[in-house]
Chain A
Amino acid sequence: MTEHLPVLIIAVPLLAAFVLPIVRILGVIPRDIFVFSVFIAVNVMLMSLIPDICIYNKTLHYVLGAASPSTLTPEGLAFPIRIVLKIDGFSLLMAVFSAIVGLVGFLYSHKFVPEDGRKNYYVILLLLMLVGMIGLEFTNDLFNFFVFLEILSISCAALVAFRTNQKHPPYAGYKYLLVSSLATSFFLLGVGLCYAQYGSFNMDYINRMLNHSLLDRVALVFMIIPLAMKAGAVPMHMWVADTYSEAPAPVTAMLVTASQASLYGVFRLSFTLFGNSTANISINYHTLGWIIIILGVLSMFIGVTMALVQHDVKRLMAFHSVSQTGYMLLGVGVGIAVYAGHDGGAAFHQYGKLAMTGGIFHIINNSMYKGLLFLTAGVMVRRFGTANLDRMIGMAHRDVFTTIAFIVGALAIAGIPPFSGFASKLIIFESVYHFNPFLSVIAMFVSVLTLASFLKVFYGAFLGPERKDLLVDNNPLPHGMTAGMGIMCLFILIMGIAPEAVIKYLIDPAIAGLVKIL
């Protein structure tokens, strides 16, 4: 049964989502137990894949509907004809952490979302968002990537607009869906151009047959820039702030991982589809690397400077996720820029590979501490009824656990040693310094501003005297919310204490999967 695991990870939550409208007749408790067991099953299945992919560096292929799961191409043909799921280090890494954030999101929203008639639909959409993320990271087929990108976008848009009776959430949902469907239409145009030239949708086959004509470069741009928009790179990042601040807190925590799934798409396309370092490349890899670096640096700076002046705590954290995306783009952009340098990859081995390690490690850290911060923001909004920082004061007196969770998240995002943000930021600073010292200086300055803005939130919401009049609801936190935040703190601490183990067992196989080592 184990060679069927790749498709089971996608099909089991899908079956659960389809059956849920019928299961809900049994009542609320059986439904919650059913969905919780599905989330746990997905996590367990993904964790069981870690040994043979990350330690023995295998890549799993699964051909859907063929006579046997691993017959990639039928006899005597050079091209695959069915949809192939390919799991290598990078996709498994992203899928594992998406599943963890999914589980935490479901735990958190157990009591956070009121139990009216809409909770069944909310849970279905949560499951399908998880399916969209994991499916996106497992397929090796371009059109299947488009379909899962569409599933992810629609479920995120519907969940963003969950509170339709308030003034702004429907407009935020509209913005998210407009941005996503425009991006997916452009992506489909790029897929059409690729298919027209090579007759197949399989990324590995197209990569083998690539001859870098003008058409491929047009297809490259049509595919990568819309995905960078969905990931929140700067010039196209403005929808991030409006959308994250209107969504309920657990949904925002999963939205961060959803935009990281499209960031995975950017890196997967620029490496597996368009990247072969050996051939004489007419796609100037240096240009592509520099474009991603500029996007990254702009994201970092504009994200954090805009965050510093915000009054709304969720908008502040949304701008921070834009600036953290900038770090990842910077890290991996440096890797791309030196990936196919004419010096035979010496620069790549010296610091390019390290920059990519830092970038990808930062993706994982960001999904952890950014999710935690949004969950604490959910507690703040629930306590004070408003997200405006000026009307929050003295929360530390009551919710000691939330305060500790916020401190862990804020120090991790600023990159303070014992927490996981420090390891990945240190690697990014060191390796980018070799590439271009000025970029590293900007990265450090932005890191300082990050700490400054979270100090502002800590001072505003947690410190100060205990004022009963500002308080909206004072009953203790339900266990689901504390359990969710606890899991996130646990992961941040573990990855902070032992970063070398995480790098050796999780990040290096991911780099091996992405980059065909020279």
Chain B
Amino acid sequence: MDFLNRFIAQNTGILWYPSLLLGILIILVIVLTVWGRLFFRRDYNKNSPQVKPFNSGNLEEIDYNIASSNLFWGFRKALESYYAVMISSHSGDLNDYLKWLAISIAICFLLIAGGLL
């Protein structure tokens, strides 16, 4: 029982061999694709209007791709105050970068050498 497994076996109680898991994963994927190929939506054919996205009314070809940068716009808007601080501190101003080194060294002096802790 090598190191990691002994550890996992004690706590989670399942035997965990990565190579075994990988084998099971591959078999599952093969079974799923074969099954899907045969039995899923038989009436699908590639070059029919089924492929086109349903543009709910406007018929001419539009570029419907959402720009990737606002994929998590909700997360961004939710933490607006946090990001305002963060973006301003990463503004490329060298003095702001290096003052953090001075501040960290001073804090560590107080903690370790000053005997606060």
Interface of A with B (CB < 8 Å)?
175, 178-179, 182-183, 186, 214, 217-218, 220-222, 224-226, 228-229, 235-236, 238-239, 241-242, 283-284, 286-288, 291, 302, 305-306, 308-309, 311, 354, 389-390, 392-393, 417-418, 423, 427, 430, 452, 455-457, 459-461, 464-465, 496-501, 503-504, 508
For A287, what are the chain B residues with a Cβ–Cβ distance below 8 Å?
Answer: 111-112, 117
User: Which partner residue on chain B sits nearest A503 by CB separation?
Assistant: B3
Q: For the complex, is B62 an interface residue (Cβ under 8 Å from A)?
A: no
Can you list, as one digit per residue, whether each of B1-28 has a CB less than 8 Å from chain A (1) or not (0)? 0111101000100000011011001000
Asked if residues A217 and B94 are in contact (CB atoms below 8 Å), the reply is no
Q: Assess whether A457 is in contact with B3, with CB atoms less than 8 Å apart.
A: no
Bound CA span A186–B102, Å: 11
Q: Given the interface contacts A309-B83, A500-B5, does A222 sit within 8 Å of B68 by beta carbon?
A: no
**16 other A-B residue contacts (CB within 8 Å) besides A220-B112, A309-B76:** A179-B98, A224-B108, A225-B105, A226-B105, A235-B100, A236-B97, A236-B104, A287-B117, A291-B112, A305-B79, A305-B86, A308-B75, A389-B69, A390-B67, A430-B11, A503-B2
Known: A214-B113, A221-B113, A390-B67. Is A309-B105 also a contact (CB below 8 A)? Answer: no
Say how far A368's CB is from chain B's closest CB, in angstroms.
Answer: 16
Q: Give A390 to B66 CA distance when docked, in angstroms.
A: 9
Q: Which residues of chain B from 71 to 107 have a CB within 8 Å of any chain A CB?
A: 71-72, 75-76, 79, 82-83, 86-87, 89-90, 92, 94, 96-98, 100-101, 103-105
- Which of B5, B83, B92 has the most chain A CB atoms inside 10 A of its CB? B92
Return chain A residues, CB-CB under 8 Å to B25.
418
Which residues of A are found within 8 Å of B100, using beta-carbon distances? Answer: 235-236, 238
Question: Can you give 15 A-B contacts (C-beta < 8 A)?
Answer: A183-B101, A225-B105, A229-B104, A235-B103, A286-B117, A308-B75, A309-B83, A389-B68, A390-B68, A418-B18, A423-B4, A460-B68, A499-B18, A500-B4, A503-B3
Q: Which residues of B contact A284 (CB under 8 A)?
A: 112, 117
* Structural contact, B101 and A225, CB atoms closer than 8 A: yes
Query: Is there contact, CB below 8 Å, between B68 and A238?
Result: no
* Partner among B21, B89, B112 whose Cβ is within 8 Å of the Cβ of A283: B112
Closest to A233 in B: B104
Would B72 and A417 count as touching, CB distance under 8 A? Answer: no
B residues within 8 A CB of A501?
A: 2
Q: Is the CB of A430 within 8 A of B7?
A: yes
In the assembled complex, the Cα of A456 lies from the Cα of B65 at a distance in Å of 13
Chain B positions within 8 Å of A457 at CB level: 68
Q: A309-B83, A500-B2, A500-B3 are in contact. Are A217 and B113 (CB under 8 A)?
A: yes
Q: A221–B97 Cα gap in the complex (Å)?
A: 19
Q: Are B18's CB and A302's CB within 8 A?
A: no
B105 contacts across to A, CB distance below 8 A: 186, 221-222, 225-226
Within the complex, the shortest CB–CB distance from B74 to chain A, in Å, comes to 11
Q: Which residues from B are CB-within-8-Å of A503? A: 2-4
Chain A residue with Cβ nearest B97: A238
Is B92 in contact with A242, judged by CB distance below 8 angstroms?
Answer: yes
| A306 with B90, Cβ < 8 A, contacts A182-B98, A225-B108, A418-B22 known | yes
A460 and B97 contacting across the interface, CB-CB below 8 Å = no
Residue contact B11 to A182, C-beta cutoff 8 Å: no
The 9 closest A-B pairs by CB, nearest first: A460-B68, A500-B2, A217-B113, A235-B100, A287-B117, A390-B67, A500-B4, A221-B108, A311-B69
Give bound CA distance, A209 to B83, whole Å. Answer: 48
Task: Name the distance in Å between A128's Cβ and chain B's nearest Cβ.
Answer: 26
Per the bound structure, the CA–CA distance linking A238 and B96 in Å amounts to: 9
| Contacting residues, chain A, for B82 (C-beta < 8 A) | 305
- The answer to whether A504 touches B97 (Cβ under 8 A) is no
In the complex, chain A residues whose CB is within 8 Å of the CB of B97: 175, 179, 236, 238-239
What's the nearest-Cβ distance from chain A to residue B65, in Å? 5
Given A430-B11, A499-B18, are A241 and B90 neighbors across the interface (CB < 8 Å)? Answer: yes
- Do B72 and A452 have beta carbons less than 8 Å apart? yes
Most A CB contacts (10 A, CB to CB) among B18, B21, B22, B100 go to: B18
Q: How far, in whole Å, are A497 and B18 apart by their CA atoms in the complex?
A: 6
Give Cα distance in the complex from A305 to B82, angstroms: 10
A464-B65 contact in complex given A221-B113, A226-B101, C-beta closer than 8 Å:
yes
State A144–B43 Cα separation when bound (angstroms).
72
Name the distance in Å between B8's Cβ and chain A's nearest Cβ: 8
A504 touches B111 (CB 8 A): no
Instruction: Report the bound CA distance from A288 to B105 in whole Å.
Output: 13
Give chain A nearest CB distance to B38 CB in angstroms.
26
Chain B positions within 8 Å of A504 at CB level: 2-3
Report A183 CB to chain B, min CB distance, Å.
8
Q: Shortest CB–CB separation between residue A26 and chain B, in angstroms?
A: 43
| Cα distance A182–B72 in the bound complex, in angstroms | 37
Most A Cβ at <10 Å: residue of B5, B101, B117: B101
With a cutoff of 8 Å between Cβ atoms, the chain B residues found around residue A455 in the complex are 71
The reply to whether B69 and A238 contact each other, CB–CB distance below 8 Å, is: no
Who on chain B is nearest to A235 by CB?
B100
Q: Do A456 and B79 have beta carbons less than 8 Å apart?
A: no
Are the C-beta atoms of B18 and A496 separated by less than 8 Å? yes
How far, in angstroms, from A390 to B70 measured CA to CA in the complex? 9
Look across to chain A and name the residue whose beta carbon is closest to the beta carbon of B90: A238
- Evaluate contact between A182 and B68: CB separation under 8 angstroms: no
Chain B nearest CB: distance from A364 CB in Å? Answer: 15
Pick from B67, B72, B103: contact of A309, CB under 8 Å: B72
Bound state CA distance, A142 and B23, in angstroms? 49
Q: Find out whether the CB atom of B108 lies under 8 angstroms from the CB atom of A291.
A: yes
Residues on A with C-beta less than 8 A from B101 are: 182-183, 225-226, 229, 236
